[in-house]
Amino acid sequence: MKKLFIVILMGVWMPALVSAQMVNELHKTALECYELKDYACAQIYLQDLVKLEKDPEKLAGYCLMLGTIFSESGEVKEAFKNFKVAIKKNPQLVEAWIKRGILYSNEGNARKALSDFEQALEIDPENELALSQRAQLLAENTY
């Protein structure tokens, strides 16, 4: 009976340990690729992390990085999708609001861009990037 308990316990704990270790390795490699601007490499690891991550704040960070990669590679639909998930998982993630706002602005949707910059400023009223993006948008558009 004791052996059966140990086998069952290992069956429950081992996958969790392997999974946590795997997530840490994927995270480390994704960040290394991202910092080196090897976005194809980072994208692969980040997409795996998104599937495995349970923590909403970490998931938001991974989606923010994916959104940035997709935005820079011109994959607008995927960028919007990832920024939306990042914001949903962590509404306090100012950078996600700003990057989505910039994407909206680049796509010609000034109203949604302004809304995202305003949301970022509600969270961080002194954020220089949000302030400058909002000012530029207001100078270029009339409402």
Q: Has residue 8 been placed in a domain?
A: no
CATH number at residue 67: 1.25.40.10
Q: How confident is the model at residue 4 (pLDDT cuts 50, 70, 90)?
A: very low
Same domain, 80 and 57: yes
Same domain, 69 and 99: no
Among 123, 62, 52, 19, smallest CA distance to 101 is for 123
| Domain housing 51 | 26-90
pLDDT at position 63: 97
Tally of domains within the chain: 2
pLDDT at position 13: 44
In the listed set 90, 106, 131, which residue is the last one of a domain according to the structure?
A: 90
Q: What is the residue-wise DSSP string for 26-57?
A: HHHHHHHHHHTT-HHHHHHHHHHHHHH---HH
Structure tokens at 99: 């990057």
Same domain, 86 and 124: no
Q: Which residue has the higher pLDDT, 58 or 3?
A: 58
Same domain, 31 and 59: yes
Same domain, 47 and 73: yes
Query: Mean of the pLDDT values across residues 15-30?
Result: 77
Q: Has residue 3 been placed in a domain?
A: no
The structure's pTM equals 0.82
Buried b (16+ CB within 10 A) or exposed e, 98-131: bbbbbbbbeeeebeebbebbebbbeebeebebbe
Query: Mean of the pLDDT values across residues 117-136?
Result: 98
pLDDT in tens, 68-122: 999 999 999 999 999 999 999 999 999 999 999 999 999 999 999 999 999 999 9
pLDDT at position 57: 96
Query: Mean of the pLDDT values across residues 121-132?
Result: 98
CATH number at residue 130: 1.25.40
- Residue 14 scores a pLDDT above 60: no
Same domain, 60 and 104: no
Q: Has residue 143 been placed in a domain?
A: yes
- Residue 2 scores a pLDDT above 50: no
* Burial category of 65 from C-beta neighbours within 10 Å (exposed 0-12, middle 13-18, buried 19 and up): buried
- Residue 8 scores a pLDDT above 50: no
